[in-house]
Amino acid sequence: MKLVVMQCIAGCVTVVCGAAHAQSSVTLYGLMDAGVTYTNNAVSSTGHGALVQFASGSSQGDRWGVTGKEDLGGGLSAIFTLESGFQLSNGGLAQSGLLFNREAYVGFNGYFGTLTVGRQYDFIGDIFPAYSIAGNTAAGILAWGLPAYAAGGYTLDNRLWGDNINNSVKYLSPVISGFSAGAMYGFGNVAGSMGTNSSMNFLLNYSHGGLAASLSYFKQHNATDYANLTEYAGGASYSLGRAQIFGVVTDVQLSSGTKVRAVTYDGGATYFLRPDLSLGAGFQFQDRNNGVASANQVTIGADYFISKRTDVYFVGALAHDHGYGAQIEAALGSPSSTDFQTAARVGIRHKF
């Protein structure tokens, strides 16, 4: 027993000394979101009517993760992140039961920028929520519904919540005079074809003072059984004191068939009444081709920060889809039996 104890102590000392020598760090982090959502005119297999449900991961997806960094000397560091999404409501894993379903990558960071490989979010998911009402308030998926449910389905999802790209290589440059750029490629891993199931993404950023702006291009081969998907995105935000204004435009289209296309405009503002109380409002409009009618949504929210890590919030939304049954809430919601739908949510969010 004494020998086992001594071996354990020696192992711990070795780990601590090694970590101190290499200036390594490993951080455990996470986020949990829970609340009650009311939605009217929700269609189900048995009919339609008002839906009141406990829902988790609505404002932001529930997650836990481990991220680490090791100083390799000369300004070079090895980095990694493993991040798992789950459902607080039932404890289940998100995204088809994958363990590290959100991100799982390793790479290097240095004077040249950041290079990572693995399963990673694309740049649109990394950057562009900061230009949307869904990302600047606690609205989350209550404001993702309209842009994600384009033309009555998720094929033309504008992807502002980000896609997890498997088998990917991702590079982000250092910031030079306010500018930075990035490129990403996801391998399809199909024998005899480099392009099948592959994806690519490019990014240009600018930031100076209170201004931030981004442009991005994304292409996914075989997004459907018959077509490739192409997306162009541009967004900007400006902060001045307690106020912030923001906006983003996305253009998503398929390459074949009727070449369906959806252009979505998303803009709004937030204002801190007090350091612990923020109000926000936004408007979304979506235009579609092939004679499919447009859609729009108004979203409002209030967020009270009890501490730096815990907040409680209220979100309300009204959607109008002229072509299909309106659907406010992406993923966890249901389309309306009419072209209107309203939703409201109260929730609590905690980060660690």
Q: What CA–CA distance (Å, rounded) separates 340 from 195?
A: 41
User: What are 38-56's pLDDT values in tens digits?
Assistant: 999 888 777 788 999 999 9
Helix and strand numbers, DSSP H then E, in the chain: 4, 17
The residues, any chain, with a CB within 8 Å of residue 91's CB and separated by 6 or more, are: none
pLDDT greater than 50 at residue 26: yes
Question: Is the predicted pLDDT of residue 2 greater than 70, yes or no?
Answer: no
pLDDT tens, position by position, 205-219:
999 999 999 999 999
pLDDT in tens, 303-325: 999 999 999 999 999 999 999 88
pLDDT at 20 over 80: no
**Three-state SS sequence of the chain:** CHHHHHHHHHHHHHHHHHHHHHCCEEEEEEEEEEEEEEEEEEEECCEEEEEEEEEECCCCCCEEEEEEEEEEECCEEEEEEEEEEECCCCCCECCCCCCCCCEEEEEEEECCEEEEEEEEECHHHHHHHHHCHHHHCCCHHHCCHHHHCHHHCCCCCCCCCCCEEEEEEEEECCCECCEEEEEEEECCCECCECCCCCEEEEEEEEEECCEEEEEEEEEECCCCCCCCEEEEEEEEEEEECCEEEEEEEEEEEECCCCCCEEEEEEEEEEEEEECCEEEEEEEEEEEECCCCCCEEEEEEEEEEECCCCEEEEEEEEEEEECCCCCCCCCCCCCCECCCEEEEEEEEEEEEC
Asked whether residue 3 carries a pLDDT value surpassing 90, the answer given is no
pLDDT at res. 17 = 43
| The pLDDT of residue 168 is above 70 | yes
Q: pLDDT grade, residue 171 (50/70/90)?
A: very high
Provide the mean pLDDT of the chain: 91
Mean pLDDT of 225-233: 93
The predicted-structure confidence for 89-123, as pLDDT tens digits, reads as follows: 999 998 778 999 999 999 999 999 999 999 999 99
pLDDT digits (tens, 9 = 90+) for 315-351: 999 999 999 889 998 877 888 989 999 999 999 999 9
The 10s digit of each residue's pLDDT in 278-295 is 999 999 999 999 999 999
| 114-144 confidence digits (pLDDT tens) | 999 999 999 999 999 999 999 999 999 999 8
User: How does residue 61 score in pLDDT terms, banded at 50, 70 and 90?
Assistant: very high
Cβ atoms of residues 188 and 198 within 8 Å: yes
pLDDT of residue 22: 57
Residue 4 in this model has a pLDDT that exceeds 70: no
Provide mean pLDDT across the span 148-166: 84
Which DSSP letter does residue 146 get? H
Whole-prediction pTM value? 0.89
% of the chain exceeding 90 in pLDDT: 79
Domains of the chain: 124-351 (2.40.160.10)
Phi-psi category of residue 145: left, alpha or beta, with phi > 0 → left and psi -120 to 50 → alpha: alpha
